[in-house]
Chains A and B, each alone.
Chain A
Amino acid sequence: MLVAFLRDETSKVGLRRGVVGLSGGVDSAVALGLAAEAFGPERVLAVHTPYRTSTPGSLEDARAVAERFGVELRVVPITAQIDAYRDLVGEEMHRVRLGNKMARERKSIEFDLAWPDGAVVGTSNKTELLLGYGTWFGDMASSLNPVGDLYKTQLRELAVLLGVPDRVVRKPPTAELWLGQTDEEELGFTYAQADLILYFMVDRRLRPAELIAAGFGAVLVGRIREMVRKSHFKRVTPLIAKVSLRTIGHDFLYPRDWEAD
């Protein structure tokens, strides 16, 4: 289903290749596996974009994943441009701000390498997207995303099924935006906890009071619901002020898959 999605939704708009930002983590590994199956490995480019603080282990993992799916890996370090920008700005950048800048730099490279006939394959999973745990127009951006409706827990299972190396499946998820960062430590809860709550909240439409009555912790339920609420802007296109009789996004609505005769 996901392979057919990638194949059909790209070919009908004339895209013939896939570009995947390969971090060395499990999400992008699954996206790469699906892209390789959909486009054929020779039409897929994996891009690894390390900053000087990135761990060498990530590059090794990215290499192992690219090799596993027979895809070319291109390493494009972002240290030079990020550091040049830091000098240019000339002020201390908060680590989250710097992380956002790096995520957008990476995405800009992926879109560049996709030109003119490639699609940037999204790697954000459902958990991250719902929690808003990602950079808007950074790692959350893509041409299309085959894994965005799969929770992190489900992605790990799919990774095993696709033959992603065991080491990659098992390592603690990290955005590697600063040294030693892990997602679960930063979030303050595990993906397993979040996925279960999100599944009942979103997929099964239980209201917070019903979740708490079912035995989930009130604090965690409240916290996760707030994360979903606060980050909703990241999941929709920017607002356009409606003034005219017909407005893009409001009542000028066409399918994205608007095909020629």
Chain B
Amino acid sequence: MTVRLAVAQCAPALGAMKRNLEMHLRTIERAREAGARLVVFPELSLTGYYVKDLANDLACAADDDVLAPLAKAARGIDVVAGFIERSPDARIHIASGYWSEGRIAHVHRKVYPPTYGIFDDGRYFARGERFDVFPSVLGPTGIAICEDAWHMSTPYLYAVRGAHVLLYVAASPGRGVAEGGDLGTAESCRLMDTFYAQYLTMYVVFVNRVGHEDGIAFWGGSEVVAPDGTVAARAKEFEEDLLVAEIDPLLASRERARNPLLRDERHDVVLRHLAERVGLPPGLKEVLD
């Protein structure tokens, strides 16, 4: 039995949240009609990416009334969408929410907001602190927002915490045209998707956006890579697309029986070496001794 997944490769309007919300509602309906149980939107799909000082104007709590129509639409189909979260202590985060049965069920806050090159997230956003696995219709799932996924500890932590699925939502700018056959960023992302999927034996669902913001082109190319490293589905580049893929929730288990890398993973050795470098957080010393 497979579960049908839809990937909404869209082009959000920068700073126009109402318009984006309507786009989400339309896309959710299309995904529902296509028989999907889950539809995943890219990073900051409700606001656009290079929001700069608009971040403060667009920020809201995950259960804010502004997002109520989205929650309402998430019945019979679950929804992952990107928004700017204002936390109870008034920090502003790049966040992705999981809406199910008409309410918000999980929020991941971007742990690695990049601040270099063409990125300036750190100027506008606070950092998330956790990588929590939650139950989605696809099985145990973790969300990585764009730069999160480039840090290999992110998919690693999700995998060792039990995730079978990594939802890698992105606003990935296409660049490096002159450097080889394809866009440099596209090649890097595909390499990551395949590598993480195969060596952590989990589904990697890469959800990228398209469109332009201030001269930067988002390249799309969303894809679903299975735990055996095969590409189950891939979207077009630079164009909006609703990519539909079948997820086999038991495939990760079968693949792990054949390829038990995660079973054999030595968390204690990893932790000991990390502790040698940065010390141990309070309460963990007894666990190791």
Contact = CB atoms under 8 A, between A and B. Distances in A.
Q: Do A and B bind each other?
A: yes
25 contacts: A205-B56, A207-B57, A239-B214, A239-B215, A240-B215, A241-B215, A241-B217, A242-B216, A242-B217, A243-B178, A244-B176, A244-B177, A245-B175, A245-B176, A245-B179, A245-B184, A247-B118, A247-B175, A247-B215, A249-B215, A250-B118, A250-B215, A250-B216, A251-B117, A251-B118
Contacts of A245: 175-176, 178-179, 184
Given A241-B215, A243-B178, 16 more contacts: A242-B118, A242-B173, A242-B175, A242-B215, A242-B217, A243-B175, A243-B177, A244-B176, A244-B177, A244-B178, A245-B178, A245-B179, A247-B118, A250-B215, A250-B216, A251-B118
Q: Chain B: interface secondary structure?
A: mixed
Contacts of B215: 239-242, 247, 249-250
Contacts of A244: 175-178
Interface in A110-169: none
A240 B216 CA distance: 8
6 closest Cβ contacts across the A-B interface? Answer: A239-B215, A243-B177, A251-B117, A251-B118, A250-B118, A245-B176
Interface of B: 56-57, 117-118, 173, 175-179, 184, 214-217
A10 to B, nearest CB: 29
Contacts of B178: 243-245
A247 B173 CA distance: 13
A251 B175 CA distance: 11
Nearest to B178: A244
Interface in A221-246: 239-245
A97 B175 CA distance: 38
Contacts of A207: 56-57
Contacts of B56: 205, 207
Interface residues of A, number: 13
A249 B117 CA distance: 11
B182 to A, nearest CB: 13
A98 B206 CA distance: 52
A69 B11 CA distance: 55
Interface string A194-210: 00000000000101000
A242 B174 CA distance: 8
A243 B184 CA distance: 10
A242 B214 CA distance: 9
A242 B215 CA distance: 6
Contacts of A243: 175, 177-178
Nearest to A241: B215
A249 B214 CA distance: 10
Contacts of A241: 215, 217
Nearest to A236: B214
B53 to A, nearest CB: 8
A244 B215 CA distance: 12
Contacts of B57: 207
A79 B117 CA distance: 48
A185 to B, nearest CB: 31
A45 to B, nearest CB: 37
A105 B179 CA distance: 43
A243 B176 CA distance: 6
A242 B176 CA distance: 9
A41 B34 CA distance: 75
Nearest to B213: A239
Contacts of B118: 242, 247, 250-251
Contacts of A240: 215
Nearest to B177: A243
Contacts of B176: 244-245
Contacts of A250: 118, 215-216
Nearest to B215: A239
Nearest to A249: B215
A155 to B, nearest CB: 24
Contacts of A242: 118, 173, 175, 215-217
Contacts of A205: 56
A196 to B, nearest CB: 20
A205 B173 CA distance: 29
Contacts of B117: 251
A241 B218 CA distance: 12
A250 B50 CA distance: 12
